[in-house]
């Protein structure tokens, strides 16, 4: 009997160790907005690679002139895809096979991680698969990057309580952002970056101010932004202030930020009668409990500085928003 019990205990311990070994995954690595594409070099150098670059390395529209890509891409062949090359946070594996398939797996080789697999019987099948599934893959990778960045923020959070107290809004806000202007319920925060600043604006307005549903919001968005710019964001001389660039109408779409309906608009800002401008991302977020909207905008004023990751950082901060009771 004792021998049986001992044998059972040993089997149980061995099984537990095997389970722990099986569950262990290393931490994923990589710069924000980087993607590893695993595929045959000949496919990468041909029309399939062209199709992938069209989606994953396309210039970001709201960063005018700089032609910054959506992702930084590293392509590696399948026989090199082992060891630490599998630890990237966002991986896309593209190959030919007997069937056309697509799926995404979470934390397959490291954590957190998204690994997308796309196979096709022919080159044309792969191109059709890229056209069909690239938007899904991009959204998955972007959400993964946003979670990673929010986790990084938590190591050095801004401790200010004035935004929470005045607007009843909380943000996962890094300590490098400081309040540079506060008037009534308007807040302007900035972070010093190379050649300028990355900035966040917060203010509230009545829910009725944005108008009715199912309409073109472009005019209201421009009027709202320009009035705030004239009142709170002056240029270097009198009569100069931030406006929405008249040369590029902002694009907008309705989205959800957690449980909150929102209107996301993106475009270019400039200073009236002065040569300075850059990209912005604006979010009009509905607060149903208080019958109001809170507007949170990120913009960058840093000529000659790479803006993609800064803009993504601002959007990540904004999308951490929570309304307090």
Structure tokens given for 52: 């992938």
Residue 121 lies in a domain: yes
The answer to whether the beta carbons of residues 311 and 281 sit under 8 Å apart is: yes
Q: Which pTM does this prediction carry?
A: 0.89
The pLDDT value recorded for residue 5 is: 46
Give the separation between CA 59 and CA 80, rounded to whole angstroms. Answer: 28
The CATH code of the domain that includes 192 is 3.40.1000
The CATH code of the domain that includes 144 is 3.30.379
Residue 175 lies in a domain: yes
What Cα–Cα distance (Å) separates residue 207 from each residue in 215, 284, 319? 15, 10, 19
Verify that 208 and 286 share a domain, yes or no: yes
Verify that 250 and 173 share a domain, yes or no: yes
The answer to whether the beta carbons of residues 275 and 294 sit under 8 Å apart is: no
Residue 70 lies in a domain: yes
Verify that 298 and 187 share a domain, yes or no: yes
Q: Where are the alpha helices (DSSP H) in the chain?
A: 2-23, 41-44, 47-56, 123-153, 162-167, 218-232, 308-318
Verify that 245 and 120 share a domain, yes or no: no
Verify that 136 and 162 share a domain, yes or no: no
Structure tokens given for 125: 């099948």
Residue 60, pLDDT above cutoff 60: yes
The pLDDT value recorded for residue 65 is: 65
Verify that 164 and 71 share a domain, yes or no: no
Query: pLDDT higher for 179 or 66?
Result: 179
Residue 206 lies in a domain: yes
Number of folded domains in the chain? 2
Verify that 160 and 282 share a domain, yes or no: yes
Residue 17 lies in a domain: no
Mean pLDDT to the nearest integer, 208-231? 86
Give the separation between CA 90 and CA 141, rounded to whole angstroms. Answer: 6
The pLDDT value recorded for residue 175 is: 96
Buried b (16+ CB within 10 A) or exposed e, 92-120: bbbebeeebeeebeeeebbebbbbbbbbb
Residue 244, pLDDT above cutoff 70: yes
Which domain-ending residue is among 137, 154, 171? 154
Residue 16 lies in a domain: no
Verify that 186 and 277 share a domain, yes or no: yes
Verify that 180 and 137 share a domain, yes or no: no
**Residue 214: band (very low, low, confident or very high) from pLDDT cuts 50, 70, 90:** low
Q: Among residues 32, 291, 254, 6, which one has the least CA distance to residue 148?
A: 32
- Taking only the tens place, the pLDDT of each residue in 77-98 is 999 999 999 999 999 999 999 9
Q: Which residues span the domain enclosing 136?
A: 34-154
H or E element: which one contains 187?
strand 186-193
Residue 22, pLDDT above cutoff 70: no
Q: Which range is least confidently modeled, 50-54, 197-201, 214-218?
A: 214-218
DSSP 24: -
Residue 227 lies in a domain: yes
The chain-wide mean pLDDT, for the chain, equals 91
As a residue count, the chain comes to 325
The answer to whether the beta carbons of residues 95 and 83 sit under 8 Å apart is: no
**Residue 27: band (very low, low, confident or very high) from pLDDT cuts 50, 70, 90:** very high
Which domain-ending residue is among 134, 154, 174? 154
Residue 53 lies in a domain: yes
Verify that 227 and 136 share a domain, yes or no: no
Residue 237, pLDDT above cutoff 80: yes
The pLDDT value recorded for residue 9 is: 46
Q: Phi, psi at residue 252, to the nearest 5°?
A: -145, 160
Mean pLDDT to the nearest integer, 187-203? 97
Q: How far apart are the first and last CA of the chain?
A: 62
The pLDDT value recorded for residue 16 is: 46
Verify that 133 and 47 share a domain, yes or no: yes
Which domain-ending residue is among 135, 154, 173? 154
Verify that 130 and 201 share a domain, yes or no: no
Give the separation between CA 300 and CA 296, rounded to whole angstroms. Answer: 14
Buried b (16+ CB within 10 A) or exposed e, 70-89: bbbbebbeeeebeeeebbbb
């Amino acid at each position: 009997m004792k021998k049986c019990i001992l044998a059972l205990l040993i089997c149980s311990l061995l099984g537990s160790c095997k389970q722990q070994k099986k569950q262990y995954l290393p931490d994923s690595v990589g710069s924000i907005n980087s993607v590893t594409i695993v595929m045959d070099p000949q496919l990468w150098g041909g029309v399939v690679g062209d199709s992938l670059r069209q989606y994953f390395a396309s210039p970001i529209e709201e960063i005018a002139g700089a032609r910054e890509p959506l992702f930084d891409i590293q392509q590696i062949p399948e026989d090199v895809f082992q060891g630490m090359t599998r630890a990237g946070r966002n991986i896309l594996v593209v190959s030919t096979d007997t069937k056309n398939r697509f799926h995404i797996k979470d934390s397959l080789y490291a954590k957190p991680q998204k690994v997308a697999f796309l196979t096709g019987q022919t080159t044309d099948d792969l191109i059709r698969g890229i056209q069909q599934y690239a938007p899904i893959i991009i959204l998955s990778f972007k959400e993964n990057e946003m979670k990673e960045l929010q986790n990084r923020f938590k190591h050095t959070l801004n401790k200010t309580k004035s935004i929470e107290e005045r607007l009843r809004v909380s943000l996962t806000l890094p300590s490098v952002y400081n309040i540079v202007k506060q008037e009534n319920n308007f807040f302007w925060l900035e972070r010093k970056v190379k050649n300028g600043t990355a900035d966040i604006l917060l203010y509230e307005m009545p829910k009725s101010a944005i108008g009715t549903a199912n309409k073109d919001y472009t005019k209201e968005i421009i009027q709202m932004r320009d009035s705030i710019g004239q009142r709170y964001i002056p240029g270097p001389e009198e009569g100069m202030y931030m406006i929405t660039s008249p040369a590029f109408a902002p694009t907008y779409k309705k989205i959800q930020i957690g449980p909150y309906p929102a209107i996301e608009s993106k475009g270019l800002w400039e200073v009236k009668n002065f040569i300075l401008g850059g990209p912005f991302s604006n979010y009009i977020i509905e607060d149903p409990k208080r019958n109001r909207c809170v507007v949170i905008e990120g913009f960058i004023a840093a000529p000659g500085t790479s803006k993609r990751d800064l803009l993504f950082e601002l959007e990540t901060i904004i999308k951490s928003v929570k309304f307090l009771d």
